[in-house]
């Protein structure tokens, strides 16, 4: 049995009914759990003697709103997902835990009391993607300004944003105004000489 398959077996054994499924890809194990069970599942992975995932390496939010454009089948999962990357220092294992979220705002239980390092990660996910965390002691923006409107990592957020800010000499303070930048469509840069050679079959 390969080391990866052994890890998958241990994770499934640890989670039991909490595990909705696993996937082996890119030399990693990904396990899916329901959002209501995320805290229980992560605690089990930390405490079980066969897994001992004592470190939260990262957590990040994913927006799948445009993902269906690249699929040949219909996307049957919610728009948002939260992904937790865990490491067991003692066993030298890594695992990815994923849960899909619905609702607006999408909401999960905070895992700060499982790993204190989740504090700023959860604030970042709240700030840039709009994921709310129940039980977080200080859920506020961490990267954007406090007056920022929207969540810039969502796929439907405009590249130029909604407002711009500047210092007003008359008011002696920073003011927010509607964006004056014209929307634009980004296109790849083309090397005309290479394109010409390709057209000529050189």
pLDDT at 202 over 60: no
Where is 19: in which H helix or E strand? Answer: strand 19-25
Q: Please check whether residue 19 is in contact with residue 11, taking contact to mean a CB–CB distance below 8 angstroms.
A: yes
- Whether the CB-CB separation of 178 and 163 falls below 8 Å is answered with yes
pLDDT over 90 (residue 100): yes
pLDDT digits (tens, 9 = 90+) for 57-83: 999 999 988 776 666 677 788 889 999
In order of their start, the domains of the chain are 3-143 (3.30.460.80)
Is the pLDDT at 112 greater than 90? The verdict is yes
For position 179, what pLDDT does the model report? 73
Tokens of 162: 């909604």
Instruction: Answer for the pair 121, 143: CB distance below 8 angstroms, yes or no.
Output: no
pLDDT tens column, 47-57: 999 999 999 99
pLDDT at 178: 76
State pLDDT tens for residues 179-197: 776 666 656 566 666 656 6
DSSP, res 173: E
- Give first-to-last CA distance, the chain, whole Å: 51
């Amino acid at each position: 049995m390969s080391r990866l398959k052994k890890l998958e077996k241990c994770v499934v054994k640890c989670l039991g009914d909490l595990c909705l499924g696993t996937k082996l890809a890119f030399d990693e194990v990904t396990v899916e759990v329901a959002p209501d069970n995320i805290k229980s599942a992560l605690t089990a992975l930390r405490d079980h003697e066969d897994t001992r995932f004592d470190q939260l390496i990262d957590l990040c939010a994913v927006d799948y709103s445009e993902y269906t454009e690249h699929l040949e089948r219909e996307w049957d999962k919610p728009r948002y997902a939260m992904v937790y990357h865990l490491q067991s220092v003692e066993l030298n294992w890594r695992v990815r835990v994923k849960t899909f979220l619905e609702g607006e705002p999408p909401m999960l239980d905070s895992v700060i009391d499982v790993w204190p390092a989740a504090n700023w990660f959860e604030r970042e996910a709240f700030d840039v993607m709009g994921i709310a965390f129940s039980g977080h002691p200080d859920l506020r923006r961490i990267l954007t300004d406090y007056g920022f409107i929207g969540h810039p990592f969502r796929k439907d957020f405009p590249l130029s944003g909604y407002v711009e800010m500047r210092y007003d000499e008359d008011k002696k303070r920073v003011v927010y105004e509607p964006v004056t930048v014209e929307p634009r469509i980004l296109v790849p840069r083309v090397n005309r000489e290479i394109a010409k050679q390709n057209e000529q079959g050189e």
